[in-house]
Amino acid sequence: MLSMKVDLEHLSRLACLELTEEEKDLLPAQMEKIIDWVGQLSSLATGEEEEEASPGFTLRLQEDEIQPSLPQAEVLVMAPDKQGDFVKVPRVLKEK
């Protein structure tokens, strides 16, 4: 595996995070060190086995039935902002 300069700006945009000045100082070196370290994995020869983890037991599909959900009023209590029976959020689209 390759050692590379981590493009933190790109990653933080993908992760919806902003970095503080301190994090901008510390994180690049930390991340590169961690990524180099996990890169040891490339030394392990692995076949083309299925990559999905298997739980080791049979899972059962459930019937597609309507079940009661949590009471709407109790769930809405936790919403930071609401209007009527709806969660309220700021404008979704930017103005031109």
What is d(CA 10, CA 25) in angstroms, rounded to the nearest whole number? 16
User: Which secondary structure element, helix H or strand E, spans residue 81, and what is its range?
Assistant: none
Write out the binding residues for other proteins, residues 76-95 only, by CB under 8 A. 77-81, 87, 89-92, 94
Q: Would you count residue 66 as binding other proteins (CB under 8 A)? A: no
35 vs 11: CA distance, rounded Å: 14
Residue 59 DSSP SS3: coil
Residues that bind other proteins (CB under 8 A): 1-2, 6, 8, 11-12, 14-19, 23, 27, 30-31, 33-35, 37-44, 46-53, 55-60, 62, 70-71, 74-75, 77-81, 87, 89-92, 94
